[in-house]
Structure 1
Amino acid sequence: MNHYTVMESPIDSLLLTSDGEYLTGLYMETEAAACLPQIRKEGRRDPSLFRDAIAQLNAYFAKELHRFDLPLKASGTPFQKTVWDLLTTIPYGETVSYKSIAERMHAPNATRAVGLANGRNPISIIIPCHRVIGANGKLTGYGGGLPRKQWLLAHEGRQGTLVAPIRAVRQSA
């Protein structure tokens, strides 16, 4: 049985999914909208399963937590799982390039494959795919959208001053 809940955050609603034992997904609004109908059909809304995840995410957004400690189960290929494991080693407030991850995997020509795996990360923020940038130092694609990636990096002190929460950015546009 799949379980889910939705929590509010400074970067809009977040959809959390679980198999009852592990956190299996954390999706931002655009991704959540695409998968929520299926999750509602197959799963059960159960906020009690997500107390620890919600508490840690709230502490992260309050700048009180820099490293998550949750049981995770991300479904993917062995290559994707290797990339995602490496993402969890990127310290809070730091960024690395797709190329450097490929090199750490001893696959220096796999930069694009690393980018694709990064983009398929089912547990964003907790598996910090937002901390991966282009080799030239520029922000590149992000499933939650570049404004959210910029916000998360600024929140962690990486890109200068913190920009307004996503809701405020969207409402002023």
Structure 2
Amino acid sequence: MTDVAFGSVPTPLGEFLAAVTPDGVVATVFQDGDDVRHRMLSRLGLPEADAPARTAPVREELARYFAGELRAFTVPVDWRLMSPLQRKVLGTLTGTVGYGRVTTYGALAESSGAKVPARAIGSVMGSNPIPVIVPCHRVVAGNGLGGFSGGEGVEDKRWLLTLEGYLQPALDWDL
């Protein structure tokens, strides 16, 4: 039977939690705690495993990413929570928009072959269960940053894009 193990890392944006099945990272969230883990277990419908060795690679990569040392995640992704449209769009995003680069909602709709308007791509980004590793923060509006449903919202998107060098740091930037 499949189960899920949890591992978190401290980041400048707070604790960052990853849920990992034997197939890969199935979910991430910008917070940790018993209630967060319970909600994730309910959503996944899987029992919890005590498997620190399973979460070690993702914890290491996340720590390196948030320290500005990692540009590409290599941990496997478990796409089970995603619809076919999400898999198509988020898979295209992950495979084509690298560290420090962005694309627009409309361009991603076109490059992924999704026959949906740009606003629908925004909904796909907003429902991404694996933010940061599946980099929905790299999708911006044609006239600005657009939204972000992770962490503290658009300010965390701005922080991630600054970390990656797409945006210039503010005077008070401190990694």
Structure 1-normalised TM-score? 0.84
Shift of the 139–45 alpha-carbon distance from structure 1 to 2, 3 Å rule, reads: farther
**SS of the residue aligned with 2:49?**
strand
Corresponding residue number in structure 1 for 2:92: 86
Which consecutive unaligned segments of at least 5 residues does structure 2 have?
none
Which consecutive unaligned segments of at least 5 residues does structure 1 have?
166-173
Corresponding residue number in structure 2 for 1:99: 106
Q: Could you list the per-position Cα deviations for residues 109-161 of structure 1 after superposition, in whole angstroms to 9, with x for gaps in the alignment?
A: 5212211111111111111100111011x112111211110000000111101
Q: Could you list the per-position Cα deviations for residues 63-92 of structure 1 after superposition, in whole angstroms to 9, with x for gaps in the alignment?
A: 221111111112211110011111212011
**Cα RMSD (Å) of the superposition?**
2.2
**Correspondence 1:36 to 2:44:** no
Shift of the 155–40 alpha-carbon distance from structure 1 to 2, 3 Å rule, reads: same
1:15-94 aligned at under 5 Å gives the runs 15-29=17-31, 35-39=36-40, 42-74=47-79, 75-88=81-94, 89-94=96-101
Q: Distance in 2 between matches of 1:124 and 1:87?
A: 12
Structure 2-normalised TM-score? 0.83
1:98-137 aligned at under 5 Å gives the runs 98-107=105-114, 109-136=116-143
Aligned length in residues: 163
Taking only the aligned residue pairs, the percentage that are identical comes to: 29
The structural deviation recorded for 1:107 is 4.3
Could you list the structure 1 runs, at least 4 aligned residues long, displaced by more than 6 angstroms after superposition: none
Contact 2:61/2:70 (CA < 8 Å) preserved in 1? yes
Q: Distance in 1 between matches of 2:49 and 2:66?
A: 26
